[in-house]
Structure formats: C-alpha cells, structure tokens
Structure 1
Amino acid sequence: MGNEVGTPAGGVDAQDVDGELLAAVERIVRAVVAEEVVPRWRRLAASDIAEKNGPHDLVTTADRAAEAQLAQRLTALLPGSVVVGEEAVSADPGLLDLLRGDAPVWVVDPVDGTAAFVRGETGFSTLVSLVRGGRPIASWTYAPQRGQFATARRGGGAHLNGERLRTATDPGRLRLWISNPVFRTPAEQTAVARLAAAAETVPCVTSAGLGYLEVARGDADGVAFFWEAPWDHSAGLLLVQEAGGTSRTTAGQPFQVAGGNALPFTVARDVATADRVIDLLTGAEEDR
C-alpha cells in the first residue's frame, strides 16, 4: 500500500493528523480485523491458542496474523514510521525503546482481550495509536462484535461511530471499572477492596480498550489499572483525554506511554475523580 495521505517520510506531529489520516487508518484496521480476526472468532482450534506467560496470558493465530498485517500496512501508509506491537515485543522486549525515539510509532494491540476472544465473548477490541515523542497523537479503538469504532485526535476530540464523546458529569456518582482480577497481588486486592467499599464497581475489564471507551462515553467514571503495557493504554488514554478526562499514577503524575510509571494508576472523567481514585488505591483517603 502506498502513502495514501501524502504524509512526508520520517515525521508527523499532532497538527499533521487530519480527517484523511484518521479515515485511512480506520480503513486499514477494519480490513485487517475483517480478514484476520472476525473469521477466527468462535472458530479457534486448540492449535490456534498458546500460552505466553501462563494460562491467563494467551496468544492466538488471530493476534499474530492481525499484528503482522497491521504492521505492514501502517508503515506503508506512513513511510519512516515504526511499530511497537504486543506480539513483537513479546519476542523482542527491546522494541519498547522505539517509544523514546524520534520516529513516529504505531502502537498496536491486535486483539485486546484475547481471553475473551478465546471464550467466544464480544468483549475484545483492536487498538492502534500513533505516538510521537512519547505522546499519543491519534488513536483507533475497534470492537467489531459490538459495532463500535472510536477515534481520537490530539486537539481534535474523540468520537464513537461518528458521534462526539464526552466524559460523565454526575458529581454524585462514582462508578469504576476494575482490571482483570487474575493479575492481582495481595496488595492489589487490598486496593481494590478499598475501591469497592467506596464506589460502585464493575469487577472485570476483559479489554483495556473497552474500559477506556466506557469512561470516554460517560458510562463509567474511572478505571483502575495495575500494569503499564503501552499497547493496552496508548489508544485509550488519548480517547479519554479528548473526551474531557485525565489519568493519574500513584505518584500524582499523568500516565506515560513510554513507561516508568508508579503503579497502579487510573484514568477518570476529570481531575477530581482521578485524585479520589488514587487516594482510595493508596489508602490516603482512609488516613484523613
């Protein structure tokens, strides 16, 4: 595929991301998912599924095939760009250093929520973001079996199926999504218990990208996460930010895609909500 949007080789900044680029990437994502992911949904054989770091960390032929296709087509779309994909990093962790480099980086999660995909559930998505200088400048979130396609452009807002997204504004509500419980340590379980005691909680996010989407669309007020894999968070961070929300780590700083974050962290509808969630996660609210 050629350079459909005519972007100069070797560089793109937020002001260069326009509707044409957003649409070109959307076409690529939809095509790859239609070719490599949807046909395998509920049709996986045992030989199509493998463990990476244990029984709850799975990879399928859909993950590998979709990432390979996305990497090929996205770098052809933007000459000079590079890819940081979940499956490639699993084989070569050194690829994470690309996030600190000068080239535009496509951050790719071909099937976010692989366990849900393997179980034949609809709670999975494909996540793509374009990162420059360690900051997401555009993102694409696609949940094919739910008919949801969300995009965001830095400074240009967030949209779901063409409709503008806004985070919730109900000051009396605190509805939180919680990341997958199979990864929790005893300390994390204690932190989650504090959240559950103070808020309405949804106990499991099968796809990080869908958790971010729930905040961006106003259905949830925040999500608590306990890991920092960039492919899980990059697209959603920009989506929530452009919908009016924010992120906070336990060090009180915004989450950084390039790593080095104090965990756990939250993405929330506004600053006040993010601060409260962090206080609950750390126990600071109990000390007052």
Structure 2
Amino acid sequence: MRQQVGAGPAFDGVNADRAADEALLGGVVAAVVAAGAHLRERFTPDARPGSLAEVVAAIHANDAASLRFLREPLERLRPGAAWAEDELESGALPSGEWWVTDAVEGNINHIHGMTEWSVTATLVRDNRPVLTAVHLPLTGDTYTAVRGGGAFLNGVRLRASAKAGLDAALVGTGQARPGESADTFRRIGLSVAAMLSSALVTRVSVPATMQLIQVAAGRMDVFWQFSDVRSGLLAGALLVAEAGGTVTDAAGAPWSLSSPDFLAAAPALHAAAVEVLAPIR
C-alpha cells in the first residue's frame, strides 16, 4: 500500500499517538454531526441567490452558523491545538497541533440548493493529518480515519479502487476557490483536456472533499487539483491514504501542505495519472 502524505518522510509507519487519537474520534464525529444537523435545517433545494452580494452573505451566514456548533467542542477536545481560521488558506502550518475544518465544505452548493456539501474536521500534527471526520448531513453518512488505523464509512472499512487501466477510470478535478490565477486556470483546462483523452469519464465539480471521499470509497479512481487550499485536501488525503490509495503531488512526489498541487489515485492507476498530469506546468 503506497501512502505518500505528509511533510518530509512518507506517510506510513507506526503512529505512537494513534490510541489517543482514536479516543478523540467519537467527540469529533459528534461535533461535525451537530454542525451538520443545524446546516440541514438551513438547507432548502429552492435556494436561488440572485447576486454576488447575496452569494457572499449566504456563505458567511452558513459558516458562522456551523462554527457555533463545531469550534467549541473541538477546542474542548484538544485544548492545546490551535485553530486554522481561514479555510481558504494554503501552505504549511506552524509546528504543533491544529484543527483544520471546513464548516460547510461545498458551501456554494448548499446555498444554491444542491446536495454535495459536508462538514469536515481534521486534526493536524506537525503538518500531517492524523484524524478526520467528514459528515454528509443530507444522507447521514460519516467518513472517518485515524492515521494508521484505516478509513471507514459509517464504521465499514473503505478500500480504494482496484482498477488497473486509466481507460476504465472515472476521474475528477475542480476549482479550489474563486479568483485563482490565470496560470492555474490554464493548467486546469489543459489537464481536463488531457484526461478526457485518457480516462473513461472526467468530471469537474466542487468541492474537493466530496470527490476525495469517492476515491477513498473506490467509487472514483483519480482526483487531482492544481491548488494547495489545505481545508479542502487534508480530510480527503487522509481518507484516501488510509483506504490504500496513493496521495502525491501531480508529478508523483510525496504530498505535503507545501506542495503546489495534489493527486489522489487508486494505487494501480497512480503512475498513469502522473504520466498525464506531470507535463502540465
């Protein structure tokens, strides 16, 4: 099982803190479920914001509403852990423990009456994700992982896809945030065109986590993103790695929070995905 997630060494080996992290998991799940229940009450499939100002206001209102249920329980679980305030931030964090959350992952979908959204919480230790919970309020599903302990959906172990050919693969990418650079948009466009010619089906959607849980579950085969927005990648990176998938940057090097891009793939498809994506610079 190839797992290349982390800062520096490969993301493998025995985690001395695993038992302590597993003891936290129930509390983390409870927090994301509570936040999700409140967001479900705010959700309507009839939502149709009419302007950019309305979109921005609805996003901020959702974030604030969810954080009221999410932040205090998580800080109480791990009082010494710092809180990553901006969910659109990228790059490495200072050393120590951090909570990296997305109070409404896929907020843009929620406020437009679409169903692909979730609540995520990931504990990061010295820039490595060690524990995560992703809750989908509309289905009641919860994805969880503790470093070294496997990935699970509602307590059932997840396995990455066993596909061996990119010609049979369902792959995906998406935009990490509004206002990316013109160069990033160029790379996204080139990569989509390249994958359309290489994979069976290519999808482009947001948010990243909602595609990464599908890679972890073996329903999708490859996900890549030309971005380093940490809140959209950390939960899925841990889930995919713990499900037996391969997580690197787009050139195949070990992924960390300092990497400029991201690739998660079924293990037998990783090399083929790198062959498609690595030339796109």
| Range of TM-score over shorter length | 0.7 to 0.9
Q: 1:114 to 1:156 in 2, by over 3 A?
A: same
- Is 2:176 the counterpart of 1:197? no
Residue of structure 2 in register with 1:266 after alignment: 263
Q: Give 2:28's match in structure 1, choosing from 22, 25, 30.
A: 25
Residue of structure 2 in register with 1:208 after alignment: 208
Q: Is the 8 A contact 1:49 1:61 kept in 2?
A: no
Cα distance in structure 1, aligned partners of 2:68 and 2:275: 41
Q: 1:80 to 1:187 in 2, by over 3 A?
A: closer
Cα distance in structure 1, aligned partners of 2:91 and 2:248: 22
* Aligned counterparts, 1:1-288, within 5 A: 13-18=17-22, 20-35=23-38, 37-42=39-44, 49-51=54-56, 59-87=59-87, 99-102=93-96, 104-172=97-165, 173-180=168-175, 185-257=185-257, 260-263=258-261, 265-270=262-267, 272-283=268-279
Q: Is the 8 A contact 1:84 1:96 kept in 2?
A: no
Cα distance in structure 1, aligned partners of 2:266 and 2:224: 12
Q: 1:277 to 1:85 in 2, by over 3 A?
A: farther
Equivalent position amino acid for 2:266 in 1: R
Cα distance in structure 1, aligned partners of 2:154 and 2:124: 22
Note the residue ranges of structure 1 that are not aligned, 5 or more in a row.
1-11, 53-57
Task: Report the more deviating stretch, 68-77 or 145-154.
Answer: 68-77
Shift of 1:281: 1.5
Note the residue ranges of structure 2 that are not aligned, 5 or more in a row.
1-15
Task: Report the more deviating stretch, 213-222 or 68-77.
Answer: 68-77
Cα distance in structure 2, aligned partners of 1:243 and 1:45: 37
- TM-score normalised by structure 1 residue count: 0.79
Per-residue CA deviations over 1:138-180 (Å, capped at 9, x if unaligned) read 1101111133210001111110011110011122332212214
Cα distance in structure 2, aligned partners of 1:178 and 1:251: 16
Aligned partner of residue 111 in structure 2, secondary structure: helix
Cα distance in structure 2, aligned partners of 1:243 and 1:277: 18
Q: Is the 8 A contact 1:85 1:231 kept in 2?
A: no
Q: 1:154 to 1:213 in 2, by over 3 A?
A: same
Task: Report the more deviating stretch, 210-219 or 39-48.
Answer: 39-48
Q: 1:82 to 1:44 in 2, by over 3 A?
A: farther
Equivalent position amino acid for 2:42 in 1: R
Q: Aligned residues, how many?
A: 255
Shift of 1:44: 6.1
Cα distance in structure 2, aligned partners of 1:273 and 1:261: 21
Q: Is the 8 A contact 1:107 1:131 kept in 2?
A: yes
Equivalent position amino acid for 2:33 in 1: R
Aligned partner of residue 263 in structure 2, secondary structure: strand
CA RMSD of aligned residues (A): 2.7
Shift of 1:84: 1.1
Cα distance in structure 2, aligned partners of 1:241 and 1:148: 19
Q: 1:96 to 1:250 in 2, by over 3 A?
A: closer
Equivalent position amino acid for 2:153 in 1: L
Shift of 1:116: 0.9
Aligned partner of residue 234 in structure 1, secondary structure: helix
Cα distance in structure 2, aligned partners of 1:73 and 1:230: 21
Shift of 1:15: 4.0
Cα distance in structure 1, aligned partners of 2:187 and 2:35: 39
Shift of 1:124: 0.6
Q: Is the 8 A contact 2:250 2:278 kept in 1?
A: yes
Q: 1:192 to 1:223 in 2, by over 3 A?
A: same
